[in-house]
């Protein structure tokens, strides 16, 4: 049996509430949902993080996440929809995935942003250095 729970779901080694799948992605209900309808979209090719992923799977991932958001909007008529993809520090499963879930007024979910002193940021310098790195990434 594979160690990655998402690979196990993709290979039907463990049960999941699959909503959609094709040759590139699988979309299923999250077992620890933020709200009812919380979906996970995963590429069928295992990659731990976005940095190594093939564009084919990333394209399928985002287009399926968009479709999932449309489905949630139509089904739940939420106040909003969150599409979230994390790498590294907060990743709960080492397999690229997107969370897509409906948001409702007063549902209690919050993304807490740190208080950063914007006065100390040199946006021009940061822009210049990021543009240089962009050329080689």
Question: Which residues have a catalytic role annotated?
Answer: 97
- Please name the residue that has the structure tokens 């729970």: 5
- Residue 133 sits at the vertex; the CA angle it makes with 131 and 137, to the nearest 5 degrees, is 120
> What is the chain's Cα-based Rg?
17
> What CA–CA distances, in Å, run from 99 to 69, 118, 121?
10, 29, 31
- Please name the residue that has the structure tokens 């620890």: 32
């Amino acid at each position: 049996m594979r160690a990655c729970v998402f690979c196990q779901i993709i290979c039907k080694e463990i049960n999941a509430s699959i909503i959609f799948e094709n040759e590139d992605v699988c979309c299923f209900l999250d077992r620890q949902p933020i709200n009812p309808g919380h979906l996970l979209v995963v590429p069928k090719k295992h990659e731990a993080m976005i940095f190594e992923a093939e564009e084919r799977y990333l394209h399928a991932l985002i287009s399926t996440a968009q479709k999932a958001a449309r489905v949630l909007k139509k089904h739940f008529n939420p106040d909003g929809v969150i599409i979230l993809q994390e790498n590294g520090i907060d990743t709960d499963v080492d397999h690229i995935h997107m969370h897509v879930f409906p948001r409702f007024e007063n549902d209690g979910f919050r993304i807490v942003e740190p208080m950063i002193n914007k006065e100390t940021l040199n946006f021009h310098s940061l822009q210049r250095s990021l543009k240089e790195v962009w050329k080689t990434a």
